[in-house]
Structure 1
Amino acid sequence: MKIVAVEAIPFAIPYRKPLRFASGEVRTAEHVLVRVRTDEGVVGVAEAPPRPYTYGETQDGILAVIRQIFAPQLVGLTLTERETVHTRMARTVGNPTAKAAVDMAIWDALGRTLDLPVTALLGGYTDRMRVSHMLGFDTPEKMVAEAERINDDYGITTFKVKVGRRPVTLDTAVVRALRERFGDAVELYVDGNRGWTAAESMRAMKDMADLDLLFAEELCPADDVQGRRWLVSHLDIPFIADESVPTPADVTREVLGGSATAISIKTARTGFTGSRRVHHLAEGLGVEVVMGNQIDGQIGTACAVAFGSAFELTARRAGELSNFLDMSDDLLANPLTIRDGHLQVPPGPGLGIDIDTDKLTRYRTDN
């Protein structure tokens, strides 16, 4: 079970429509496919999505750090030496999605070697999750129409609404329109991607106090320490830390410092090894957890549902597992399918997915 190669392959797949939010927008999935090969011929895969406006990573940067730094450090290790893998990659500052993809590809290879699903290796709580769909910036009419389509086509009844525009009434009007259209038939929560000040956030939350929101996520920047603590202390719903908690140490700081009361776990950011640490920490701290979305493709979504299904705490809430629906294509031989508002873990060893080699040839950008 020794690692003999760690490969990084850039690819680009356009979105049918851009996803817009307070910290940027995504028009094309310019991601990196990571493959880990073993001496037994097993290949594990994962996906690294660059988010320069969030973590400072670019596609070229991910390729460079994996090919030039991580691969030489990891070749020769076994698939079970995951703590050694973690320690060696941790020597390099930053690069969270590059590290996460390498980690998850190793877990996938281990599951394939042992003929066991990754979700079973992690915890095996269930084999599916309810799905939450993210709605990006648009007019109230268009965002309601998208929610209607997603509800009709896939049975999804939980929506995460991107907010953070100015004036705040642009977004409070959207959330109100969604609640008026669906009543209590759907769950709604908001994500500001750090777009508002603490004062703007408070004004918006007061405007939406009658809309029965599940959560509020990253409404204002984490570096506004006093303002954020003040905001969180006045809210009567959980405040999710997302971009502000890329490591377990950040989770501890935000929760114990009074700047958050819930956590978003993103396997694209912390892999399986790091996400398990965050999960256990959140469990010990007694905070709620949501499985977040890094605007993942289907490979990243398969990783997220594998982890989220493994534990009761992460399976309790709907996970953000549907934004691959906005992509024009993907790399999987057997695409993921959302039915009746749920996404099932693909059956089979490892992540249960296979790469379509023809699609990889078509979309890779290093030919």
Structure 2
Amino acid sequence: MKIARIEAIPFAIPYTKPLRFASGEVHTADHVLIRVHSDDGRIGVAEAPPRPYTYGETQESIVAVIEKIFAPELIGVSLLEREVVHARMDRTIGNPTAKAAVDMAIWDVLGRTLDVSVTQLLGGFTDRMRVSHMVGFAPDDVMVAEAQRVRDTHGITVFKVKVGRRPVDLDVGACRALRTALGPDVELYVDGNRGWTPSEAARALRAMDDLDLTLAEELCPADDVLGRRWLVSQTTVPTVADESATTPGEVTRELLGGSATMISIKTARTGFSTSQRILHQCEGMGVEVVMGNQIDGQLGTACSVAFGAAHRLTSRRAGELSNFLDMRDDLLTEPLEISGGELAVRPGPGIGVDVDPDKLAHYRLDQ
């Protein structure tokens, strides 16, 4: 049960439409497939989505750090020695999604070796999660049409609305249009991707006070410490830290400093091991969490639901598990399906998914 080989394979799959938000715009899923081979011939997989405008990583940097630094340090380490794995990777600063994908692929190959699902290994609380869908920047009628289509097709009734545009009235109007069209039974919350100043965010939340927003995520710049703290004091809407809380230390800073009241956990940037540390932090402090999305493909989404379903706290809220619906294709042999507003954990050992070799051969960029 030792690591024999680690691969980092770049691939690219286009989206059906651009995904637009305050911190960036995505046209293609230029991700990296991570494969960890064990010495008994089993292979674990995970997906690393580079987000240079958030973490500074690129597709090329993820491949390089795994092939040149992480893989040589991890060959021969036992699949059970996860603390050793992280101690060696943490000698290199940053590179969160590269580290996360290696961690999740190790959990996957361990589950395959033991013939147990990752969800069971992590906690085994349930086998499915409710799904939240992200609605990105577009004219009001387009945003409404997308939300209605997703609700009618997949049964999703929780929507995360991207905000952070200027003037603020653009997003206030969009949220009002969504509430009017979807009715009171649909849950709406907003994510600013650090696009507004604290005063702009406070104004927008006041203007949307009658829309029954359930969360407000990362409305202001992550390093605006005093402004974020002031904003929390101005609103009763729970304030979610996302890009500002990517490590256990940052989670502590945001919560104890009063800059947030909830935490977004994304397995794409903290894997399973560090995500579990952050989850236990939040449980100990009595803080709610939401399972976020790094614009993951189906493999990354399978990892998110495997983790979220494993724990009580992460399974209470709808997880952001639907961004793969905007991709033209994917790598899995059996596509994920959202039905009745829920996504089930895939049955089988590990994460429960397999990569289609023909699709990988078609979309990979290194051959």
TM-score (norm. length: structure 1): 1.00
Could you tell me how far 1:77 is from its partner in structure 2?
A: 0.4
Q: Which residue of 1 aligns with 2:104?
A: 104
- Aligned partners of 2:86 and 2:312: how far apart in 1? 25
Q: Which residue of 1 aligns with 2:131?
A: 131
Matching residue's letter, 1:94: G
| 1:58 has 2:32 as partner | no
Could you tell me how far 1:168 is from its partner in structure 2?
A: 0.3
Gaps of 5+ in 1: none
Q: Which residue of 1 aligns with 2:20?
A: 20
Structure 2 SS opposite 1:107: helix
- Once the two structures are superposed, what CA deviation does each residue of 1:241-268 show, in whole Å capped at 9, x if it has no partner? 0001110000000000000000000000
| 1:144 has 2:140 as partner | no
- Once the two structures are superposed, what CA deviation does each residue of 1:69-127 show, in whole Å capped at 9, x if it has no partner? 00000000010000100111011000000000000000000000000000000000000
- Aligned partners of 2:224 and 2:64: how far apart in 1? 33
- Aligned partners of 1:293 and 1:149: how far apart in 2? 20
Q: Which residue of 1 aligns with 2:178?
A: 178
Moved more, 292-301 or 278-287: 278-287
Could you tell me how far 1:222 is from its partner in structure 2?
A: 2.1
Percent identity at matched positions? Answer: 71
- Aligned partners of 1:195 and 1:43: how far apart in 2? 40
Matching residue's letter, 1:58: T
TM-score (norm. length: structure 2): 1.00
Q: Which residue of 1 aligns with 2:316?
A: 316
Matching residue's letter, 1:102: V
- Aligned partners of 2:5 and 2:341: how far apart in 1? 38
Could you tell me how far 1:134 is from its partner in structure 2?
A: 0.3
Matching residue's letter, 1:294: Q
- Aligned partners of 2:23 and 2:283: how far apart in 1? 29
- Aligned partners of 1:96 and 1:233: how far apart in 2? 31
- Aligned partners of 2:285 and 2:6: how far apart in 1? 36
- Aligned partners of 2:172 and 2:214: how far apart in 1? 15
Matching residue's letter, 1:266: K
- Cα RMSD over matched residues? 0.5
Structure 1 consecutive aligned stretches of length 4 or more whose deviation exceeds 3 Å: none
Q: How does 1:1-367 map to 2 (within 5 A)?
A: 1-367=1-367
- Aligned partners of 1:225 and 1:276: how far apart in 2? 26
Matching residue's letter, 1:220: C
Matching residue's letter, 2:223: D
Structure 1 SS opposite 2:183: helix
Moved more, 67-76 or 217-226: 217-226
- Once the two structures are superposed, what CA deviation does each residue of 1:124-162 show, in whole Å capped at 9, x if it has no partner? 000000000000000110000000000000000000000
- Once the two structures are superposed, what CA deviation does each residue of 1:13-66 show, in whole Å capped at 9, x if it has no partner? 000001100000110000000000011101000000000000000000000000
Matching residue's letter, 2:169: T
- Once the two structures are superposed, what CA deviation does each residue of 1:221-256 show, in whole Å capped at 9, x if it has no partner? 121111110001111021000001110000000000
Structure 1 SS opposite 2:347: coil
- Aligned partners of 2:132 and 2:261: how far apart in 1? 20
Matched pairs, number: 367
Structure 1 SS opposite 2:228: helix
- Aligned partners of 1:45 and 1:182: how far apart in 2? 38
- Aligned partners of 1:227 and 1:308: how far apart in 2? 31
Matching residue's letter, 2:211: L
Could you tell me how far 1:184 is from its partner in structure 2?
A: 1.4
